[in-house]
C-alpha cells in the first residue's frame, strides 16, 4: 500500500489464512493510509470509508478487530457500533474507537457503546501498535478457547456440550419458523470387538476416519456433526424432514463402507459399518422438550437398526 486508497472500501493487504484480519473504518483516506503504515505486518488489513459499506464487509468476512472512527458523515462510529452490537453475527467483533476528541465523555460513550479500547488522534504509532497487538492477542486466545470448548479432541467434530447447545437453538428456530429439523444418531457396529482385535490406538484412528466420512455427507450450511461419546456420533440437519434425513443416512452408510476399514472380528461384516437411527421434528408432543425428545426418538431408532442387523438406518 503506497497510494492513498481511492475507492470507498477494499482490501489493503491480504493476510494469509492463519493471520488475523483488521478492518479500518474511517472517512479519511489519509488516516486509513497512516494507520495501515503504522500497522505494517501486524495483520491482514481492509478498510471502509462509510458505515454501510463496513457492515456489508463485516457480514461477508468477520474481521478479528475493528478500528472505528467516531466521527464520520452519514453514519457516526457510535451509530455503527450500536448496529454491530444489535447483530448477533457482528456482536463479538472487538472495536477500538479512534477519535479526535480527548475529552473523557467521548471515552465514556465509547466504552458504553461496547468498545474494548479507545485511541485518540493525533495517532501515536507505539500506542496504536500496543493496543492493536493486545486486542488481537486476546481475540486469538478467545477463538482458541472457544474452539477447545466446542470440539472433540480426538475427531475434531463438535463435542457433546456443543451438540446440546446447538440442538436447543435449532429446536427453537424450527418451532419459530415452522421448519423441520432432523437428527441422526450414528453408532459404530461391534466396536468393542474392533478395539479388542486391533488395539485401542487403531480404534481411535477408526473413529477419526468415521468422523470425516460423516462430515463429508453433512455439508449443507447449518449441518452439524458431533461426537456424543465413545463410538457414537450425531448429525443435526436443519430444515430437513425424515425422508431427507434418511437420504443423508444412506450416504453416510455408503461413505463408511467406502472407507473399507477391515474389521476381522465383526460378527456382521468383514469391514467397519455403522448403524443409524433417524428422527425429525415436528413430532407429536414435541412442543416442550423438543431437543430431548428428538434425541430419544433417534436413539430408539438406532436400537431398531442394531436389532435389525446393523449397517442400516431405521426411522
Ligand atoms: P454395537 O454394535 O451393539 O454398538 O456394539 P459395540 O461393541 O460397538 O458397542 P459397545 O457399547 O459394547 O462398545 C463400545 C466400545 O467403544 C467400547 C469402548 O471401549 C469403545 N470406545 C469408546 N470410546 C472410545 C475411544 O475414544 N477410543 C476407542 N478406541 N474406543 C472407544
Ligand atoms: Mg472522521
Ligand atoms: Mg457400537
Ligand atoms: Mg452397544
Ligand atoms: Mg454405542
Whether 107 is catalytic is: no
* pTM (global) more than 0.90: no
Confidence class for position 7, pLDDT limits 50, 70, 90: confident
**CB of 302 closer than 8 Å to CB of 276:** yes
pLDDT at residue 8 in the model: 74
The closest-lying atom of ligand 1 relative to the alpha carbon of residue 154 is: 26
- Cell 481492509: give the residue: 46
H-helix or E-strand spanning residue 46: strand 44-48
Q: Which ligand is nearest to the CA of 198?
A: 1
C-alpha torsion angle, residues 285, 291, 296, 299 (rounded to 10): 140
Give me 94's grid cell: 472487538
Condensed to tens digits (0 to 9), the pLDDT of residues 20-53 reads 999 999 999 999 999 999 999 999 999 999 999 9
Confidence class for position 4, pLDDT limits 50, 70, 90: low
How many angstroms is it from 184 CA to the middle of ligand 1? 18
pLDDT at residue 105 in the model: 84
How many angstroms is it from 191 CA to the middle of ligand 1? 5
Q: Please list, in sequence order, all residues whose beta carbon lies within 8 angstroms of the beta carbon of residue 273, skipping any fewer than 6 positions away.
A: 188, 189, 253, 256, 257, 263, 266, 310, 311
pLDDT at residue 166 in the model: 97
Condensed to tens digits (0 to 9), the pLDDT of residues 152-188 reads 999 999 999 999 999 999 999 998 899 999 999 999 9
Alpha carbon distance 30, 296 (integer Å): 61
Alpha carbon distance 215, 255 (integer Å): 10
Confidence class for position 100, pLDDT limits 50, 70, 90: confident
Ligand 1 contact via 230 beta carbon (within 6 Å): yes
The active-site residue, picked from 89, 125, 144, 231, is 231
Mean pLDDT computed over every residue of the chain:
93
Q: Which among 74, 61, 121, 75 has a CA at the least distance from the CA of 96?
A: 121
pLDDT at residue 254 in the model: 98
**CB of 237 closer than 8 Å to CB of 278:** no
Average pLDDT over residues 254-272: 97
Q: Tell me which of 81-90, 112-121, 126-135, 286-295 is least confident.
A: 286-295
Burial of 200 (0-12, 13-18, 19+ CB in 10 A): exposed
Residue 202 CB neighbour total at 10 angstroms: 13
Alpha carbon distance 31, 302 (integer Å): 61
Give me 11's grid cell: 482490501
H-helix or E-strand spanning residue 276: strand 274-281
Condensed to tens digits (0 to 9), the pLDDT of residues 185-219 reads 999 999 999 999 999 999 999 999 999 999 999 98
Confidence class for position 19, pLDDT limits 50, 70, 90: confident
For the question of an ipTM over 0.90, the answer is yes
Give me 77's grid cell: 462510529
Q: What CA–CA distances, in Å, run from 128 to 42, 45, 135, 187, 206?
A: 11, 15, 11, 53, 49
pLDDT at residue 12 in the model: 73
3 state DSSP class of 219: coil
Is the confidence at residue 63, as pLDDT, over 60?
yes
Is the confidence at residue 15, as pLDDT, over 70?
no
pLDDT at residue 17 in the model: 57
Confidence class for position 2, pLDDT limits 50, 70, 90: very low
How many angstroms is it from 190 CA to the middle of ligand 5? 9
Ligand 1 contact via 200 beta carbon (within 6 Å): yes
Q: Please list, in sequence order, all residues whose beta carbon lies within 8 angstroms of the beta carbon of residue 243, skipping any fewer than 6 positions away.
A: none
Supply the DSSP symbol for 315: -
pLDDT at residue 3 in the model: 57
Instruction: Report, in angstroms and rounded to the nearest whole number, the Rg of the chain calculated over CA atoms.
Output: 25
Amino acid at each position: 500500500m503506497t497510494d492513498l486508497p481511492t475507492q470507498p472500501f477494499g482490501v489493503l493487504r491480504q493476510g494469509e489464512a492463519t493471520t488475523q484480519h483488521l478492518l479500518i473504518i474511517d472517512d479519511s483516506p489519509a488516516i486509513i493510509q497512516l494507520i495501515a503504515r503504522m500497522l505494517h505486518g501486524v495483520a491482514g488489513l481492509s478498510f471502509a470509508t462509510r458505515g454501510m459499506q463496513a457492515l456489508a464487509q463485516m457480514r461477508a468476512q468477520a474481521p478479528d478487530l475493528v478500528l472505528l472512527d467516531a466521527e464520520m458523515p452519514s453514519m457516526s462510529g457510535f451509530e455503527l457500533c450500536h448496529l454491530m452490537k444489535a447483530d448477533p453475527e457482528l456482536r463479538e467483533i472487538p472495536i477500538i474507537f479512534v477519535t479526535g476528541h480527548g475529552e473523557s465523555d467521548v471515552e465514556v460513550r465509547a466504552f458504553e457503546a461496547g468498545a474494548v479500547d479507545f485511541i485518540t488522534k493525533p495517532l501515536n504509532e507505539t500506542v496504536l501498535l500496543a493496543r492493536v497487538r493486545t486486542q488481537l492477542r486476546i481475540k486469538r486466545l478467545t477463538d482458541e478457547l472457544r474452539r477447545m470448548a466446542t470440539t472433540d479432541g480426538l475427531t475434531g467434530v463438535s463435542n457433546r456440550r456443543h451438540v446440546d447447545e446447538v440442538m436447543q437453538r435449532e429446536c427453537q428456530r424450527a418451532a419459530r419458523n415452522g421448519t423441520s429439523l432432523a437428527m441422526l444418531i450414528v453408532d459404530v457396529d461391534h466396536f468393542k470387538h474392533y478395539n479388542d482385535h486391533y488395539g485401542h490406538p487403531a480404534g481411535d484412528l477408526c473413529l477419526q476416519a468415521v468422523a470425516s466420512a460423516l462430515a463429508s455427507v453433512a455439508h449443507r450450511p447449518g449441518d452439524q456433526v458431533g461426537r456424543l461419546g465413545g463410538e457414537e456420533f450425531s448429525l443435526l440437519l436443519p430444515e430437513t424432514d425424515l425422508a431427507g434425513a434418511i437420504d443423508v443416512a444412506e450416504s453416510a452408510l455408503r461413505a463408511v463402507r467406502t472407507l473399507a476399514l477391515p474389521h476381522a472380528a465383526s460378527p456382521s461384516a468383514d469391514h467397519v459399518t455403522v448403524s443409524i437411527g433417524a428422527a425429525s421434528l415436528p413430532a407429536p408432543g414435541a412442543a416442550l422438550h423438543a431437543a430431548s425428545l428428538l434425541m430419544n426418538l433417534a436413539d430408539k431408532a438406532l436400537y431398531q437398526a442394531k436389532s435389525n442387523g446393523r449397517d442400516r438406518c431405521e426411522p
